[in-house]
Structure 1
Amino acid sequence: MALDIKLNVFEGPLDLLLHLIEKNKVDIYDIPIAEITEQYMEYIQAMKEAKLDSMSDFLVMAATLLKIKVKMLLPAPEEEEEEGDPRGELVRRLIEYKIYKYASGKLRAYGQEAEKSFYKEPQIPEEVLAYKEEIDPSELLEGVSVEKLCEVFCFVMRRRENKKDPIRSDFGEIHEEEIKLEDKIEEIDQYIRSSKTASFFQIMEIQKTKEAAIVAFLSILELMKQGRIWAAQETIGGDIIIEALEQKDERKTGND
């Protein structure tokens, strides 16, 4: 049977054998060794004429095919009858190669499909890129970190708990109206501006309930974030002095 052989197409001897099996439409589990070996040798001869360098693997497979062909033509000795079909190992290798070839083909197809996709680069408006915060929060705190503020807050809350009357506390609590954060922010802001300077301890002390103290604490944090107040702590673990931001600026201008 004449073969239309194209050299340098097959990736190896297993690839060539799989091609011959599929071309002849034979069962991979029942390979006609004589016919396939003849076609395989024609390919080897074409490789020799082309003087290709990658012949070593193909020659090894040719020797394997000839060995299997001889075993199938000659009667097997009794001690070798239990070994089974001499094509078994070759069939196993071909099936394994076919699985990997199919998987690599799928991956290659996915890659080619992905090359057809284009992704738009992120486009951020210039005004967003150019935006800078008008107020640097680090300049407002001057050594007062959020962690320190939380420590002072916890200290004040513990002191409030210690001041409770243990006898009166047994009669229960009277729950007041819900405290809104917006209202408390304005209340704290007005208190600081009217007092010129305010003590963090004092602000916490004048709160009537634990809920009010918590909302007051959140209000102070929000006022700092908005740049409406300034806070400083002179000693570690000491009180925190709070001023309105405009008052701080005026004080600096007067000193200058």
Structure 2
Amino acid sequence: MSISVKLEAFEGPLDLLLHLIDKNKVNIYDIPIVEIADQYMEYINNMEDKDLDIMSEFLVMAATLLNIKSKMLLPKDETKEEEEDPRQELVERLLEYKMFKYISEELKDKELDAARVFFKEPTIPEEIEGFKEEIDTESLLADLTLAKLHKIFESVVKKQTDKIDPIRSKFGKIEREEINLTAKLLSIQAYGLKHRKFSFRKLLEAQPTKMEIIVTFLGVLELMKIGQVIIQQDNLFDDITVTFTGDTIAEFDDRVVLE
């Protein structure tokens, strides 16, 4: 089957392929490669411009189409469950090119719309441009007294006082608490050497702050990881029993700090 193609200028081989796909009204995901390749070669043979720089791009695509065409004509290997479609790479290139072509057309429309917009430059009449309002400082300061100045000062101070939150201002300074995880690990090990078996809940309840509780919990997990302690819970929701199995206190890197 042949198709009459108007010999118009295309931006490249992908542009020509999209034109042929649209002309034949075929699905881009299921390109009839034999038919499209024949029409593509017909266009190449009828090209008026034989410039090698331009023709080289079209010839490379022609070789690609012929390669795909030959693969499509080969009998399928029944031993393979699923063979890769030889058209897949070409379809992906066409879709990418089509997307960028659409974007370029959208940008071109915006450029045309912007060319129709005119902005008026700011202009000020000469009579107004040089106008400056004169302020009579003598009349303003004529009736100014010490009592009025004091009243103005009090109003300014009151505005500053009103900005202060009466509750939050009494909180004091909030500082970030820094806990040394290495020191906590050594402390837990010393506690374990002394008691050997102890309650996990009581160990946490003995910590003075929430951050100390968190770091103690992390410390027990770390000691479990290196095999220094074993935890046990007989029944659901029962207290967890911690058994210290080490004979000595293990050393850790002093740079381990949890903030």
TM-score normalized by structure 2? Answer: 0.51
Structure 1 window deviating more from structure 2 (106-115 vs 25-34): it is: 106-115
Q: Please show how residues 212-227 of structure 1 align to structure 2 within 5 Å.
A: 212-213=152-153
What residue is the counterpart of 1:51 in the other structure?
Answer: 50
What residue is the counterpart of 1:3 in the other structure?
Answer: 4
- Mark the CA change 1:60 to 1:190 in structure 2 (over 3 Å): closer, same or farther: same
- 1:14 paired to 2:17: no
What residue is the counterpart of 1:190 in the other structure?
Answer: 143
What residue is the counterpart of 1:33 in the other structure?
Answer: 33
- Mark the CA change 1:25 to 1:104 in structure 2 (over 3 Å): closer, same or farther: same
Q: Please show how residues 111-122 of structure 1 align to structure 2 within 5 Å.
A: 111-122=111-122
Count of aligned residue pairs for this structure pair: 154
What residue is the counterpart of 2:66 in the other structure?
Answer: 66
- Mark the CA change 1:114 to 1:35 in structure 2 (over 3 Å): closer, same or farther: same
Describe the SS at the equivalent of 1:54.
helix
Q: Shift in Å at residue 126 of structure 1? A: 1.4
Structure 1 window deviating more from structure 2 (77-86 vs 60-69): it is: 77-86
Describe the SS at the equivalent of 1:3.
coil
Describe the SS at the equivalent of 2:116.
coil
CA contact (8 A) 2:5 2:43 kept: no
Q: Shift in Å at residue 78 of structure 1? A: 6.1
Which one has the bigger helix percentage? 1
- 1:127 paired to 2:127: yes
What residue is the counterpart of 2:216 in the other structure?
Answer: none
- 1:116-144 deviation line (CA, Å, top 9, x unaligned): 22222222121222224658x9xxxxxxx
Distance between the aligned counterparts of 1:80 and 1:12, measured in 2?
36
- 1:157-216 deviation line (CA, Å, top 9, x unaligned): xxxxxxxxxxxxxxxxxxxxxxxxxxxx85x42358xxxxxxxxxx4xx569x5443579
What residue is the counterpart of 2:207 in the other structure?
Answer: none
Larger radius of gyration: 1
Describe the SS at the equivalent of 1:68.
helix
Q: Please show how residues 160-239 of structure 1 align to structure 2 within 5 Å.
A: 188-190=141-143, 203=146, 206=147, 211-213=151-153
Structure 1 gaps, min length 5: 138-184, 193-202, 217-256
What residue is the counterpart of 1:89 in the other structure?
Answer: 89
Q: Which amino acid in structure 1 is aligned with residue 54 of structure 2?
A: S
CA contact (8 A) 2:72 2:86 kept: yes
Q: Shift in Å at residue 54 of structure 1? A: 1.0
- Mark the CA change 1:118 to 1:79 in structure 2 (over 3 Å): closer, same or farther: farther
- Mark the CA change 1:43 to 1:78 in structure 2 (over 3 Å): closer, same or farther: same
Q: Please show how residues 134-149 of structure 1 align to structure 2 within 5 Å.
A: none
Structure 1 window deviating more from structure 2 (35-44 vs 49-58): it is: 49-58
- Mark the CA change 1:57 to 1:34 in structure 2 (over 3 Å): closer, same or farther: same
- 1:20-45 deviation line (CA, Å, top 9, x unaligned): 00011001111011110011111211
Q: Which amino acid in structure 2 is aligned with residue 213 of structure 1?
A: F
- 1:109 paired to 2:112: no
- Mark the CA change 1:207 to 1:191 in structure 2 (over 3 Å): closer, same or farther: closer
What residue is the counterpart of 1:199 in the other structure?
Answer: none
CA contact (8 A) 2:44 2:58 kept: yes
What residue is the counterpart of 1:42 in the other structure?
Answer: 42
- 1:87-122 deviation line (CA, Å, top 9, x unaligned): 111111111111111111111111112212222222
Distance between the aligned counterparts of 1:191 and 1:120, measured in 2?
47
Structure 2 gaps, min length 5: 157-259
